[in-house]
Amino acid sequence: MTFDEAGFPDYVMDEIEKMGFSKPTPIQAQGWPIALSGNDMVGIASTGSGKTLSYILPAIVHINNQPKSSRGDGPIALVLAPTRELAQQIQEVCDKFANTSKIHNTCLFGGAPKGPQARDLDAGVEIVIATPGRLLDFLESGRTNLKRCTYLVLDEADRMLDMGFEPQIRKIIEQIRPDRQTLMWSATWPREVQTLASEFLKDYLQINVGSLQLAANHNILQIIDVCMEYEKETKLSTLLKEIMAEKENKTIIFIETKRRVDDITRKMKRDGWPAVCIHGDKSQNERDWVLQDFRSGKAPILVATDVAARGLDVDDVKFVINFDYPSNSEDYVHRIGRTGRTNKTGTAYTFFTPSNAAKASDLVSVLKEAKQVVNPKLQELSERGGGGGRRHRGRGGRFRRGRRSRTRSRSRDRRRRSRTRSRSRDRRRRRHSSSRSSRSRSSKSSRSRSRSRSHVRSRSRSRSRS
């Protein structure tokens, strides 16, 4: 399907031309006919596939076919997203069509004051983009309602379930009328997402772009560096020297913990690198400032936890560095998906240590599916390390046995040292006891000799007197 064949109104087509799109992406070409027909649908597509326009443009058409909203009606279209970053980026897409379509929107998310968001709701909006928790707050306080909502989108449904939002999602959907149209988007198709779809979608059509299995974007060159933990900071410094010498050098570095994000960013700034960081403890103002500097290129290095892994949408990210390997391969795929977007190419570097061995098998599968070169050291870890990252959270195979062996060895050493100390104490006690016994015998002998001499002297004096 082309843009012309989609049958969008002229005001939509004018904006599409301004945005410079020449043709729809595969997910858009397949998704628009279903969404515009009013059917429920499930879309399975990787990040960077252009899915936001797949549901926003049909939402605009849907809204313009509804009776005009009145004050206090609540939204006609609702988009739920897992993170505030993703919610804000969806709003940016909506804003591009706001003036010509005369459709108003607001974005509801935690970590920001409720006042401005509440004022938007009071003024009346046709589209609400929200994270589940903040929307539920407004619903429970009576600040808005979902009585008129007839178009529901669950974006990155798998991520929302991973983050524990299922109870909130269920509470929200219970307040939406049953004759709604529901569109669910997900990068993967696990059993939990299938269950949610079967409960809340009616006779849905499913479209898949790419494999239903865990798959990385084939436009991304994946380089795995198997190394030790203590080597990573030195390797990062060397890698940044090479990357910053490139003309296009916008880079995201993923690190597991918030504290280490701050530590590494501090060291990078001290070494002169133009770096900023983002994680869950940052205020909304800080996050906005950081993302603005990163998008503009003022600070081309962004250090982040997984809070930005799926939410961040910057088209010109050229490099991704996994300083720490994530807890599972799904997160790995989403992390590296920050580069190579909209048919561009990118490069992802990953530091993989022996402590990650349990995830080696899954990673090798991802690399082979994407037709990437597999590092022989990684292959060896995969063969030795055992099961995949989702099933086995500890170390695998020989690493586990090796750890138990080392533990037993240390226990034997401790027992030997304990026995040695015990023997030493016994010898000291025996020597001490022997010494005391000797002194006692010596003392008794001395007293006996003294009594004997005294007796002899007494007898001698007695003879002398007689």
Q: Please tell me the predicted confidence (pLDDT) of residue 164.
A: 87
Per-residue model confidence as pLDDT tens digits over 355-413: 999 999 999 999 999 999 999 999 999 988 654 444 333 333 433 344 444 455 555 55
* Per-residue confidence band for 188, with pLDDT thresholds at 50, 70 and 90: confident
Quickly count: other Cβ atoms within 10 Å of residue 6's Cβ: 20
Cα separation, 60 vs 86, whole angstroms: 19
Task: Give the predicted TM-score (pTM) of the model.
Answer: 0.66
Q: Please tell me the predicted confidence (pLDDT) of residue 452.
A: 52
Please report the sign of the dihedral spanned by the C-alpha atoms of residue 317, residue 318, residue 321, residue 326.
positive
Cα separation, 408 vs 162, whole angstroms: 38
Contact (CB, 8 A) for 54 and 32: yes
Q: What is the DSSP letter of 438?
A: H
Question: Which residue, among 358, 360, 375, 389, has the nearest Cα to 223 in the 3D structure?
Answer: 375
Cα separation, 185 vs 338, whole angstroms: 18
Lowest model confidence (mean pLDDT) among 208-212, 274-278, 319-323, 407-411: 407-411
Beta bridge partners of 302: 252, 276
Mean pLDDT comparison of 59-63, 313-317, 319-323, 435-439, highest-scoring range: 319-323
For residue 310, give both structure tokens.
Answer: 């799926």
Q: Please tell me the predicted confidence (pLDDT) of residue 26.
A: 87
Mean pLDDT comparison of 68-77, 99-108, 217-226, 441-450, highest-scoring range: 217-226
Please give the share of the chain, as a percent, with pLDDT higher than 90: 54
Per-residue model confidence as pLDDT tens digits over 218-259: 899 999 999 999 999 999 999 999 999 999 999 999 999 999
Burial profile 164-195: b = 16 or more Cβ within 10 angstroms, e = fewer? ebbebbeebbeebeeebbbbbbbbbbbeebee
Q: What is the DSSP letter of 320?
A: E
Per-residue model confidence as pLDDT tens digits over 8-33: 888 888 888 887 777 888 889 899 99
Locate tokens 């250090």: which residue? Answer: 303
Asked whether residue 433 carries a pLDDT value surpassing 50, the answer given is: yes
Q: Please tell me the predicted confidence (pLDDT) of residue 466.
A: 46
Cα separation, 264 vs 269, whole angstroms: 9
Question: Which residue, among 269, 302, 264, 310, has the nearest Cα to 286 in the 3D structure?
Answer: 302
Q: What is the mean pLDDT of the chain?
A: 84
List strand residue ranges (DSSP E) for 168-244, in order: 181-186, 205-208, 220-226
Domains annotated for the chain, with CATH where assigned, are 3-209 (3.40.50.300), 220-383 (3.40.50.300)
Contact (CB, 8 A) for 349 and 319: yes
CA–centroid distance for 343 within its chain: 24
Question: Which residue, among 96, 156, 91, has the nearest Cα to 125 in the 3D structure?
Answer: 91
Q: Please tell me the predicted confidence (pLDDT) of residue 47.
A: 67
Q: H helices of 273-375, where?
A: 284-296, 329-336, 360-369
**Which distant-in-sequence residues (6+ apart) come within 8 Å of 133 by Cβ?**
110, 165, 168
Q: Please tell me the predicted confidence (pLDDT) of residue 162.
A: 81
Question: Which residue, among 81, 123, 100, has the nearest Cα to 91 in the 3D structure?
Answer: 81
Per-residue model confidence as pLDDT tens digits over 103-133: 999 999 998 899 999 999 999 999 999 999 9
Question: Backbone phi, then psi, for 271, in 5-degree steps?
Answer: -85, 0
Contact (CB, 8 A) for 153 and 78: yes
Cα separation, 403 vs 417, whole angstroms: 21
Taking each helix axis as running N to C, give the angle between helix 51-64 and helix 26-37, from 0 to 180 degrees, rounded to the nearest 10: 20
Cα separation, 214 vs 367, whole angstroms: 10
Cα separation, 443 vs 96, whole angstroms: 108
Cα separation, 392 vs 250, whole angstroms: 34
Query: Which of the pair, 311 or 329, is modelled with greater confidence?
Result: 329
Q: What's the whole-number mean pLDDT along residues 152-181? A: 93
What is the end-to-end Cα distance of the chain in Å, rounded?
150
